[in-house]
Amino acid sequence: MFVPLQLRELTVPNRVVVSPMCMYSAMNGEVNDFHLVHYGARASGGAGLIFTEMTDVSADARITPGCAGMYDAKHVAAWKRIVDYVHTNTGAKFALQLAHAGRKGSTRKPWSEDPSDKRDYSDQPLENGNWGLIAPSPLAWSETNTTPREMTRADMDRVGSDFVRATLMGEQASFDMLELHCGHGYLLSSFLTPISNQRTDEYGGSIENRLRFPIEVFEAMRAAWPKHKPMSVRISATDWHDDGLTAEDSIAIAEAFAQAGADLIDVSAGQTTPLAKPVYGRMFQTPLADRIRNEARVRTMAVGNIFEPDHVNSILAAGRADLCALARPHLMDANWSLRAAAELGYGKIAPPKQYRTGYAQMQRTLARKDS
C-alpha cells in the first residue's frame, strides 16, 4: 500500500485514500476553519490522496444548506487556504470532488442543531426555504421529497457551464486532481440509472443515451482542466435493485469515461434508490472495482468497508484495484496510514516532522508486542 501511483504528471505517494465525505459544515457554500483542521489532520495522517467532500457547482446544486460549494470567488479563496496548507505541511495530494445533487437536493443536514434531538434527518426536505429541483425525469426521491422538474436542453447547458466554471475555480485553488461525481443518485448518476431516467429523447433509454449528458459534462470539464492533471469519475456500479444498472452497463460506463479521458474510475455503489437492497460485508464493493478494472481495463479505486491494512494490501496485491479509499475509518483515525505503517514495520513513510517521536514510540511498542 505504500507504493506510489502515477496518474498523468501526478505522483500519488501511496495507495491509501481519504474518501469524499460531506461534512455539512459550510456557510453559504464557503468552507471554514473546521474544514482546514479536518482536511489538514487527515492529510498529515499519511494517506497518499485526500478527496474533498462533494462540492457543488451552484447554490441550487447543494444537498443541504451546509454543503460546500465552488461557485463564488469566496469559495476559491477558502478552498485555496486549505489546499495550500496541505501542500505546505504534508505529502498528501488533494482532489476536488464536484457534483450536482439533482433530485436529492434541498434537504436537511443529517443532524438537528438541538443536541437532545439525535434523529437522522438525511434526505428530509428543508422545513422551509426549499429550492426547485431538476432531474432527468420528474420523479421524486421519495414521497416526502420535492418532485423535480424534467431538465430541458437549456437546463443541461446551464449545468454544464456551472461544472466548467467550478473546474476552472478548482485549478485556481491549486487542487491536484478533479473528480466528477456520477454516483449515489445525484444529478449525473440519475441520468445513468434507468430507475431515475425515464426520458424518451436521446438522453434516455439505451446506456449510450443515458451516458450522453454525463459524458458531455465530463468532456467539457476535461477540456477546461489542465492536461497534466488527472481526473476521476465516481460511479455507482450497481443500484442493488433488479430494475437498475446491469453489470454490462457498468463496464460500458467505465469504458466511456476512460475513452473521454478519465484516469481512474472510483467504484462505489448504490444510494440511487431508497428501494435498494445492498448486500453489506467486509470490502463489499470491491468485486465491482475488480470487474471494472479487469474487464474495462481502466484503473480503479475500491471503496466500502475496507478498514484493515490487510484489506488494502490484499485488494492491491490481487490486482482488484489501484487505490483503496477509506471513509469512516478516517473519521475515527486521521492517522490511519501512519498507524498502518507502524504496525507493518514499514520504515519509509515520513510522519510530519513534529510528530516523529510519537511515530517512533508507536513502532517500538508494536515491535515489543511482536517479540
Ligand X SMILES: Cc1cc2nc3c(=O)[nH]c(=O)nc-3n(C[C@H](O)[C@H](O)[C@H](O)COP(=O)(O)O)c2cc1C
Among 58, 106, 193, 268, binds ligand X (CB under 6 A): 268
105 binds ligand X (CB under 6 A): no
* Secondary structure of the chain in HEC code, one letter for each residue: CCCCEEECCEEECCCEEECCCCCCCCECCECCHHHHHHHHHHHHCCCCEEECCCEECCHHHCCCCCCEECCCHHHHHHHHHHHHHHHHHCCCEEEEEEECCHHHCCECCCCCCCCCCCCCCCCCECCCCCCCCEECCCCCCCCCCCCCEECCHHHHHHHHHHHHHHHHHHHHCCCCEEEEEECCCCHHHHHHCCCCCCCCCCCCCCHHHHHHHHHHHHHHHHHHCCCCCCEEEEEECCCCCCCCCCHHHHHHHHHHHHHCCCCEEEEECCCCCCCCCCCCCCCCCHHHHHHHHHHHCCCEEEECCCCCHHHHHHHHHCCCCCEEEECHHHHHCCCHHHHHHHHHCCCCCCCCHHHHHHHHHHHHHHHHHHC
| Beta carbon of residue 186, minimum distance to ligand X (angstroms, whole number) | 9
Residue whose CB is less far from ligand X, 31 or 306: 306
For ligand X (CB under 6 A), the number of binding residues is 20
21 binds ligand X (CB under 6 A): yes
211 binds ligand X (CB under 6 A): no
Q: Which one of 70-78, 187-195, 255-263, 327-335 is the stretch in contact with ligand X (CB under 6 A)?
A: 327-335
Among 234, 241, 291, 320, binds ligand X (CB under 6 A): 234
Q: Which one of 121-129, 212-220, 301-309, 345-353 is the stretch in contact with ligand X (CB under 6 A)?
A: 301-309
177 binds ligand X (CB under 6 A): no
| Beta carbon of residue 190, minimum distance to ligand X (angstroms, whole number) | 14
Active site residues per annotation? 186
Among 305, 313, 314, 363, binds ligand X (CB under 6 A): 305
Residue whose CB is less far from ligand X, 104 or 229: 104
| Beta carbon of residue 184, minimum distance to ligand X (angstroms, whole number) | 6
182 binds ligand X (CB under 6 A): no
Contact residues for ligand X, defined by CB under 6 A = 19-22, 53-54, 97, 181, 183-184, 234, 268, 303-306, 326-329
